[in-house]
Amino acid sequence: MSAIAKAVADRVLPGRVWLYANYHCNLTCTYCLTESAPKVAKRELGAQRMLEVAAQARALGFTSLGVTGGEPFLLSYLTETISKMAEMLPIVVLTNGTLFTHARLEEARGLAGAPVAIQISLDSADPVANDTMRGPDNFRRVVAAIDALVARGVRVRIATTAEHIDEHELERLCELHRGLGVADEDHVVRPIVRRGRAIDSGLGVDTDLIDLPPELTVTADGAYWSPFGPTVHGGRLDTDLLVSRTTSPLDKPARILLRLVQGRAPGDDAKLDIR
Amino acid sequence: MELLDARRAPLLARPFFEGGDPGAIAATIAHVPEVLDATMPFLAQMFGPSALPARTKELVILRTSALLDCRYCIQSHSIAARDAGLARDEVLALRGDGPLSNQFTDGAERALLDWVDAVAGSTGPVSPEIGDALMSHFAEPDVIELTLLAGTTMMLNRFCTALGLPTSPAALARLAEDCLL
């Protein structure tokens, strides 16, 4: 068993490897970590590299994958690529859920029954409150996409990112997702992290190394400590949570990450429940 | 070229920022933290205390930097040389501001400077006469370390010059005090 496989088995390292498929997005959310928007640099990882990372992650002993962005479904090859990646490891794909045209939905039928979960952002059961954060008509399009994906047998998770959420609001959200056929265990609520555009919007909680699980995260710019690491502020890529510029072979950043984890002071641990 | 500060220092680079400003070279290489992680211990060994006297090492570093016309290294190591006990006129001579023969009369130091001029000031093999002269004054391990020091300095000379690294305000103030700007 490799050192990385042992660290994952012993829960020293989380089992999931994240990939930033791209940085551009059709939305411009107020709290976006990566300042993603339609016109930003794409910083695309590419289908070939995504498949290489998946294969190397499995060989090293990691147990699952996550794909995020930007909006990954802006990439024409995404569905085919995640389908192939899912043959290697279970995968969750984060999306804003607004790009599921009829053609995309039909393409997604191939994901039914595969170890793939499509995690869609929905921040409020109130369309106005949701759309204030995520853009005009977002609520309607997202709810329609969830409904259509579930009807095609695709596993859907719902991620709610919120500054504050009271019990009543949470209950309304849960009624909504249950009604759409999404189970409670597939609804995650997470805080806004004060990085990227959230800084300028005055939103979120401050984080540091000890707040974030050390989930190896591969981007076009390097490997990071966490998917909350390769953020962008003022158009400039953050480097404070950069592990290495080298990402291939994956063994190299994985070993550096393990070394960093083992060098942390005893008692340090992830404090935020952000997955 | 952005010099990273402690706030933007990547994880592997953080230890190098714990004592304050790590200098322009480290703050630049920090952009590639795995390279910084491998490079800094090597540079610390080459430029820090070792079996060779500090004065001897600064002769090599400053002379090499002058031959390669590296403004950043000349300025930084004029200060280091003065701290290692070199006289101001010796520093100026090493920088090319005056003949070396007037300042350096010791046989070992003359042989060393001829060696450095051959290693850093030209290409191709070093002549046997210059090599034999050096070997008559220095042990084999010393020659190896001195030559690697000249080569490492050349690497940094080109790095600092190509990227236009800035000399720190504190270093410039010190040089001004010593009339070495």
pLDDT at A263: 85
Domain ranges of chain B: 6-47, 54-177
Q: What distances in angstroms separate CA A210 from CA A21, A263, A269, one per listed residue?
A: 25, 12, 6
Chain position carrying tokens 């429940």: A273
Q: Is B102 exposed, middle or buried (0-12, 13-18, 19+ CB in 10 A)?
A: exposed
- A65-88 pLDDT, tens digit per residue, is 999 999 999 999 999 999 999 999
CA-to-CA distance for A250 and A54, rounded, in angstroms?
Answer: 10
pLDDT at A270 over 90: no
- A124-146 pLDDT, tens digit per residue, is 999 998 898 888 999 999 999 99
pLDDT at A266: 54
Over its C-alpha atoms, chain A yields an Rg (Å, rounded) of: 18
Main-chain phi, psi angles of A67, to 5 degrees: -120, 130
Average pLDDT for chain B: 97
Average pLDDT for chain A: 92
State the CB neighbour count (10 A cutoff) for residue B133. 18
The CATH T-level fold of domain B54-177 is AhpD-like (1.20.1290)
Q: Which helix (H) or strand (E) holds B76?
A: helix B71-83
Shortest CA distance from B34: residue in chain A: A244
Chain position carrying tokens 């990385």: A4
Q: Which residues from chain A sit within 8 angstroms of residue B8, using beta carbons?
A: 238-240
Alpha-helical (H) ranges within A90-152 are: 102-108, 127-134, 138-151
CA-to-CA distance for A275 and A14, rounded, in angstroms?
Answer: 12
- A6-48 pLDDT, tens digit per residue, is 999 999 999 999 999 999 999 998 889 999 999 999 999 999 9
Q: Which residues from chain B sit within 8 angstroms of residue A239, using beta carbons?
A: 4, 8-10, 30-31
CB contact under 8 A, A225 and B11: yes
Do strands A91-95 and A116-121 pair parallel, antiparallel, or not at all (unpaired)? parallel
pLDDT at A61: 97
Nearest to A256 among B9, B30, B34 (CB): B34
CB contact under 8 A, A256 and B7: no
Query: Which pair of structure tokens corresponds to residue A210?
Result: 């000890």
CB contact under 8 A, A245 and B12: no
CB contact under 8 A, A241 and B11: yes
pLDDT at A268 over 60: no
Instruction: Decide if A40 touches B, using CB distance below 8 A.
Output: no
As a whole number, mean pLDDT of residues A174-183 equals 95
Quick one: chain A helix, strand, coil %, rounded to 5? Answer: 35, 20, 45
Per-residue confidence band for A190, with pLDDT thresholds at 50, 70 and 90? confident
CA distance, residue A256 to nearest chain B CA (Å) = 8
Nearest to A245 among B4, B8, B34 (CB): B34
Instruction: Decide if A242 touches B, using CB distance below 8 A.
Output: yes
Q: Which residues from chain B sit within 8 angstroms of residue A245, using beta carbons?
A: 31-35
As a whole number, mean pLDDT of residues B54-73 equals 98
Nearest to A4 by CA among A68, A60, A86: A60
pLDDT at A4: 97
Q: Which residues from chain A sit within 8 angstroms of residue B30, using beta carbons?
A: 239
Percent of chain A with pLDDT over 90: 82
Secondary structure (DSSP) of B51-75: SS-HHHHHHHHHHHHHHTT-HHHHH
pLDDT at A162: 84
The domain covering A3-262 belongs, at the CATH homologous superfamily level, to Aldolase class I (3.20.20.70)
**Residues 6+ positions from A262 with CB-CB distance below 8 Å:** A12
Q: Are A213 and A40 in contact (CB under 8 A)?
A: no
CA-to-CA distance for A238 and B5, rounded, in angstroms?
Answer: 12
Main-chain phi, psi angles of A218, to 5 degrees: -105, 130
